[in-house]
Amino acid sequence: MQYLYYNMVREDLTIDYLLRTTWLAVQKMYNEQASKYESTMVYAFTLLSIDPKNGTPSTSLGPKMGIEPTSLSRTLNKLEARNFIERIPNPEDGRSVLVTLTKEGLRMRDISRQTVFQFNEVITNNISPDRLKVFLEVMYDINRLISDKKIFKNNYEKTH
């Protein structure tokens, strides 16, 4: 089986290419599911990032999700317009806003959770635990190399 897998992967396909195309396929799959609820993957991800019991300070959502403040603001405005979230003054810090889920937001968050669980269940049922463990270790290592800035550390010198 391993031999077959390595022959299927062409040498000219880079790790970056495989990561990108796989992520685009996952994103498309989630957006297709979300469209059944007139939603998007970004909306679902945002709802999943909000603490369902206590809410989440808006200032911590962007870094938690890895998106820029402008994009987050646009997303929160759309979620608020659809009555999925409310923004209330943060009782612990009057200068910030707490993003909380409405009843409809909690319902949509639950649908999003079930969708993610279904994806994970299908993956774990179709990929052996050993292979999945190696995959997760490699993904962790790639993420660490990027966050530790080890990929392009020698490319920061002037080239002219």
Tell me if 99 sits within 8 A of 87, measured CB to CB. yes
Tell me if 131 sits within 8 A of 139, measured CB to CB. no
Which pLDDT score, from 0 to 100, does residue 95 have? Answer: 84
Which pLDDT score, from 0 to 100, does residue 9 have? Answer: 61
**84-117 pLDDT, tens per residue?**
999 999 888 888 899 999 999 999 999 999 999 9
Flag residues of the chain having pLDDT under 70: 1-10, 155-160
pTM as predicted: 0.81
Share of the chain above pLDDT 90, in %: 76
Sheet holding 56-57, edge to edge: 56-57, 93-101, 85-90
Q: Give the C-alpha separation, 19 to 101, whole Å.
A: 32
We find that the CATH architecture of domain 13-148 is Orthogonal Bundle (1.10)
- Can you give the residue ranges of every domain in the chain? 13-148
Which pLDDT score, from 0 to 100, does residue 157 have? Answer: 55
Of 74, 78, 71, 80, give the one whose Cα is nearest residue 99: 80
Q: Give the C-alpha separation, 134 to 18, whole Å.
A: 16
Which pLDDT score, from 0 to 100, does residue 5 have? Answer: 54
**112-130 pLDDT, tens per residue?**
999 999 999 999 999 999 9
